[in-house]
Amino acid sequence: MRIGAFSVVDGFPPSTGEGRDRYQEVLQLSEGCDRAGLSSFWVAEHHFHDGGVCPNPAVLLAAASQRTQRIRLGVLVSVLPFHDPVDLAEQYGLLDRLTHGRLNLGLGSGYIPLEFEGFGIDPASKRDRFDRTLETMLAAFRGDLVRGAGPSSTEVRVNVRPQQAPAPPLWIAVQRREALPFVARRSVSVALIPYATLDSLEELKDEVTEFREALPAGSSATVSAAFHVYAGPNVPLARAALQRYLDARRATQSVHYLEKVQRDARHADVGHLERSGLAVLGSPPEAAKQIARIRETGIDELLGIFDFGGLPSSEVLASVRAVGDLL
């Protein structure tokens, strides 16, 4: 099992974020992950709220590419319904060249109501928009003639295409179990966020098995799953930061997490999340034991969410180093 890192680039509650440069912290985190030997570093796309303050992952990852050497750089996810497919193909084609072929491209259809409202998009149309945008973007990566989303757009051929041909490796984020077979049949890797949707590691193991059973013969698609991770001596500090993060996700109207909490209010409590195995908080030896239990689910890559809820950057970077020492 590989270990990478995933930053939601949350803006912190005001009481913990005051005077901090969130983007510089994320860039320092990318450098720390690169030095620690982690496999990948991903950032999320979000709009119009403090739950995520990176509206353009390509820009942030381009900056990270100039400060890292070997680590793969990913977006988790590019929200396809919000974008013109030709624009996306150009952005990520250029980014793959700037990273010298280190780009991982995660895709999703969105789940925050405010974001759909801000873009004036009916959430009921998101699956159709996702499929059409993906089809056009992949055609553009191949060098085919394509049309943008505008009603009067003409056919064009993108002139800056990815270094990784015919496209960067693709992941699709899944937050509903019934979507797993559909992603598998595309032979595309899947990204999961267990804390927001699942009740236990056993449930995650079942989802991994279900996904793999639905893959076409010979597929090389993989499973990545994101967990909050802290490996260090200040566990109460990390626990308080994670509780702030969970509270902020509810305030952001994170749909799938809200549904989970509505089913069982215990899921809003960080202690319950720890006991379920869906968060890693402990000293380095304790964290190693928890990571070993996650490995038993069969996932291919654990994506550590290290920078959550205003946790001090010094603690975040030390935690990354400690996890790197476990590799």
pLDDT digits (tens, 9 = 90+) for 79-94: 999 999 999 999 999 9
Among the listed residues 164, 64, 55, the one whose alpha carbon sits nearest the alpha carbon of residue 105? 164
pLDDT band, residue 14 (cuts 50/70/90) = low
Predicted pLDDT of residue 96: 98
Kindly tell me if the per-residue pLDDT of 16 is higher than 70.
no
Per-residue DSSP letter, 79: E
pLDDT digits (tens, 9 = 90+) for 87-120: 999 999 999 999 999 999 999 999 999 999 999 9
| Tokens describing residue 212 | 């793999």
At which residue do the structure tokens 């109460």 appear? 236
Could you tell me the pTM of the whole model? 0.96
Which CATH code fits 2-326?
3.20.20.30
Contact 273, 242 (CB under 8 A): yes
pLDDT digits (tens, 9 = 90+) for 266-293: 988 999 999 999 999 999 999 999 999 9
**3-class DSSP state for residue 58?**
helix
